[in-house]
Structure 1
């Protein structure tokens, strides 16, 4: 099976075979991310590679190919087969799904791009902020002209996201201003003011955002959002995520399935909603000023019509998940959940809010395995425990 081939002990042989064709020798490797969807599994690795020019720390990617898929014709991406499975392997920035990474991570191309936007490229430095193989990446770009961000997407998605940023920015939503986009999938965004809220949660003295301020950010989403594509909310995908948990952790398969059935039954007779929504609204998407006021909103890829209760449930579920996964965030995350929850329950139906919070937690319970967190099995179990507790405390 592709999942075992890409994450098991034999994965090193696969990576070595791919690197050796380019003159490299794999010295060490570890899985950093797993995305398992049906027939296709995509994995990211952190690797130490010895090249003729010296030793480097590299990010590698590999993705299985479905039987009907054609091997990608991308320089730097190599397709291998063991006679039963076919796998495409690459070294960053040669991701076959994200051609814009080459522009974003190679100085000559990026220098030219910055100049085209009127930005001084002197002292250019790039940092990979996040990377989901074949899906998206975020690059922080520092130069004499200031700090900006490049969001890398499949080329067919980038223009639509640029226009979404424009629409929200003109409506007064505190999103990053888009400077423009490129045909290979690069969206160039201005830096937001403030400090990421998640970073603030490590300080016991930092002010927490008032829940009414949180609601006001969502209230500023314009009605034009209702004309965008609808995205299925996290809460309604609980059965799908329960199945993923069952594949990764068979000992929790039945409990996850039963919890997902409770969520699905509670949502069965509810409509999808006609509110302007963010779609993935939680603390990592918000920046705040010194007083805890929200001054920035990130990642608007998911903005569209939906139900306000799903946005609020996502925020509360992430508070719970962050507290369970990060001891340095725990006290403030729980405090924020206690601060926000009662006010959110005045805005939307309290029982539905709790039900949807539990549903979002099911999606988050796949996270420890996806990012290969140490002791991910126990982390998954703790998230399911919390989900079970929320469902038992419904009114």
Structure 2
């Protein structure tokens, strides 16, 4: 099974083969992300490697190949087989799904690109902000001209995301202005003002709601989405994929498979006669996507890849479910996260049917229950079970 092969002890042999082919020696490794989707599993690793030039901390990636898939023919990737499974392994930045990473993480190539966009690249520094193998990465770029961000996507997705940013920015939605895109999948975005709302939630303080957005302000940002959003592709909301995510939970944690399946079935049955909606939606609307000023006003909105037609209830449910998930994952900060949920929920329930909001929140939380395993959180099994406990409590509420 590819999941066991890529996350168990045998993964060391795969990584050692990939590193030694490039001239290094693997000294240590650990799994940092697991993306398990049916026949294909993709994993990221933090690795310590001894190279002829010295020891470095590297990011490695590996993905299983489905039957019939052609192995990528990209320099820096290595395809291996144990007789049953075939696996492609690489070292950042040679991700076969994100060719733009090679540009974004190469000082000379990136400097030339910034210059071609009319930007001052002197004093160039880069930081890898986030990385999901084969799916996306975000690079923070600092130079004399200021700070911008490069979003790295599969090349076929980048122009459409640029158009989304143009549409929303032109309508006055506080999203980053797109400076342009490249054929290999780089989207250059201006920096937004403000502080990430998640950081505000994790900050200590006696007043739990100080500096948190008013729920009417949150709804007001969604109200500014232009009608053109309804012409974009519809994305199936998180809540409607609860059975799919329950199956992923069960595969990673068989002891909870039946409970996850039953909870997801309750969500699916409760939403069965509810339409998918025809509202302009963000599609992944929660605190990590929101930037706020010192007073808590929402001054920025990130990650508009999922923008399209849908139900306002799903956007609001996503925001509430992430409050619950953040409280469960960071008990020290749970009071403030739950205080924000209590602040927002009554207003949200006046916007959309309360029962639909409750069921959709439970469905989104099921999707988030895959997170502890995906990011390999310590004691992820217990964290997953606590998520299911909260979903169960939510579905019992009347």
TM over 0.5: yes
Cα separation, 2, equivalents of 1:382 and 1:255: 12
Aligned to 1:320: 324
Aligned partner of 1:163 in structure 2 is 163
- 1:301-380 alignment runs, 5 A limit: 301-380=305-384
What is aligned with 1:5? 5
Separation (CA, whole Å) in 2 of partners of 1:85 and 1:392: 43
Query: In terms of mean alpha carbon deviation, does 203-212 or 20-29 score higher?
Result: 203-212
1: CA distance, partners of 2:165 / 2:270? 34
Structure 2 counterpart SS, 1:56: strand
Q: Equivalent residue for 2:217?
A: 213
Q: How does 1:20-59 map to 2 (within 5 A)?
A: 20-59=20-59
Structure 1: runs of 5+ lacking an equivalent: none
The residue that corresponds to 1:233 in the other structure is 237
Residue in structure 2 matched with residue 296 of structure 1 by the alignment: 300
SS at match of 2:300: strand
- The structural deviation recorded for 1:331 is 1.4
Q: Which residue of 2 aligns with 1:99?
A: 99
Looking at structure 1, the residues matched to 121 and 294 of structure 2 have their Cα atoms a distance apart, in angstroms, of 30
Q: Are 1:257 and 2:261 matched, yes or no?
A: yes
SS of the counterpart of 2:299? Answer: strand
Query: Matched residue of 2:305: which SS?
Result: helix
**Separation (CA, whole Å) in 2 of partners of 1:337 and 1:135:** 30
Q: Deviations over 1:252-296 (max 9, x none)?
A: 000000000000001111111000000000000000001000000
Gaps of 5+ in 2: none
Q: 1:113 maps to which residue?
A: 113
Q: How many residue pairs were aligned?
A: 394
Output the TM-score relative to the length of structure 2.
Answer: 0.98
Give the superposition deviation at 1:377.
0.3
| C-alpha distance in 2 between matches for 1:186 and 1:202 | 31
Which 4+ runs in 1 deviate beyond 3 A? none
The RMSD of aligned alpha carbons is 0.7
Alignment partners' CA distance in 1, 2:122 and 2:343:
45
1:328: how far off? Answer: 3.7
Instruction: Determine the C-alpha separation between the residues in 1 that align with 2:335 and 2:344.
Output: 14
Q: Distance in 2 between matches of 1:145 and 1:332?
A: 37
CA distance in 1, matches of 2:273, 2:178: 39
- What displacement does 1:162 show? 0.2
- What is the CA-CA distance between 1:147 and the residue it aligns to? 0.4
| Cα distance in 2, alignment partners of residues 80 and 250 from structure 1 | 28
